Chain A
Amino acid sequence: MRVLIVDDSRAMRRIIGRILSDAGFEVLEAGDGQEAIDVLEAQVELPTLACVDWNMPVMDGLAFVTEVRRRPEWRVITLMMVTTESESDRIVRALAAGAHEYLIKPFTADAMLEKLDLLGLLPMPVGDPS
């Protein structure tokens, strides 16, 4: 499975990329929404998942999500916002625009994997042994 990580912070792309490649994903990256669209347009095999930051230059995450949802051929991509934006109305807006999940920064690797589990994107469910 492939994932597209859309974030203007290289460090953040690396953190997310590390978690997801450990979970078995092949990682694609983009530094803003427009770059992400370009990456998607260049793909033969679309990613299953995109992790999308909100605040980015050129095209922000909300605009990107809206654009992805506008294109029927990109319906198959599961969209998860990964952002510091944490107000309820922001989350509601992102979900209304077509995001499937929403993970607020900062987060732990476990939290990210649990979100993927909720989305049915993990080969094996994560248990939490106490």
Chain B
Amino acid sequence: MTISPDAFTFVRELVRAESAIVLEPGKEYLVESRLVPLARTAGHPDVDAFVRELSTRRNPATLRLVVEALTTNETSWFRDSDPFTALRQSIFPTLAKTRPHRQIRVWAAACSSGQEPYSILMTAQDTPELAGWKVDMLATDLSQEMLDRARSGQYSQLEVNRGLPATTLVRHFERSGLGWRISPALSSQVQFRQLNLMRPFPPMGTFDVVFLRNVLIYFDLATKRDILRRVRQVMAPDGHLFLGAAEMTMGVDDAWERVPAGRSSVYRIREEHRSCVS
């Protein structure tokens, strides 16, 4: 059984309007499989019936759940490892020389269930140059469900098995029920907030490091360009932007330049575009 063309079109347009995520034709199966649980919970025999009711009643809470169900939240600890090595070996030490207030500000702009911001904080703790510094971490995502999970700091055994060295596990987590909970020392350093990247950013100051990883891939070119332009406005002039391994600024927003950082690369605002920032 596959979803009807009308239902697919409705969901596709809704998701596009609310999250900028593009669902190409051919993603019918994805939409169907992600919405089956919601349809069941709402007591509908199938996804078509669920979408039909949604399109007439337009219940805001249900609309939000549908959009969230179509986000992809795949993430892991120290994802791709190289960006974190670059933070520890070069970026944090450099920032430590140039920030007089012994404080750096980091934004994880699509933080999913929290592995990314927590990995950044663990990396900061492993950076000797930052001993005694305050790392001010803002972690945001579109999905309220992911933010709730991230805030709880609670992870299953399967999740901590993925990419987390055992020494890091015992240092930064406590057993909790069948799973593990991130230590309060770390979780208290993160401020989690809902933020939709396609909308204007709320006032939030400027950041020294921004992680915008594995999220631009879901958007069209115009949206990517607009987001990258607005990220420049919340970036310290000498700040560092990390994108996912499959993402780049080239041909999207050329005010950024790609510079090598260890085995990884990082994006910086080109000299001639830095003036506009306070």
Total CB contacts across the A-B interface at under 8 A: 56
25 contacts between A and B (CB under 8 A): A86-B157, A86-B175, A87-B175, A88-B170, A88-B174, A92-B170, A94-B166, A95-B167, A95-B170, A104-B160, A107-B161, A108-B161, A110-B162, A111-B161, A111-B162, A114-B76, A114-B162, A115-B161, A118-B163, A125-B80, A127-B80, A127-B245, A130-B74, A130-B75, A130-B214
Q: Nearest chain-B residue to A99 (Cβ)?
A: B166
> Which B residues contact A (CB, under 8 angstroms)?
72, 74-76, 79-81, 157-158, 160-163, 165-167, 169-170, 173-175, 214, 217, 245-246
Question: A-side binding surface: helix, strand, loop or mixed?
Answer: mixed
What 0/1 readout, one digit per residue, does chain A (111-129) give for beta carbons within 8 Å of chain B? Answer: 1001101100000010111
What 0/1 readout, one digit per residue, does chain A (39-83) give for beta carbons within 8 Å of chain B? Answer: 000000000000000000000000000000000000000000000
In Å, the complex CA distance between A117 and B77 comes to: 13
Chain A residue contacts of B74, Cβ below 8 A: 128, 130
Chain A residue contacts of B173, Cβ below 8 A: 88
In Å, the complex CA distance between A92 and B161 comes to: 16
In Å, the complex CA distance between A102 and B161 comes to: 9
- Tell whether, in the assembled complex, residue A103 and residue B161 are in contact, meaning their CB atoms are under 8 Å apart: yes
In Å, the complex CA distance between A130 and B30 comes to: 13
In Å, the complex CA distance between A108 and B163 comes to: 12
- Tell whether, in the assembled complex, residue A101 and residue B162 are in contact, meaning their CB atoms are under 8 Å apart: no
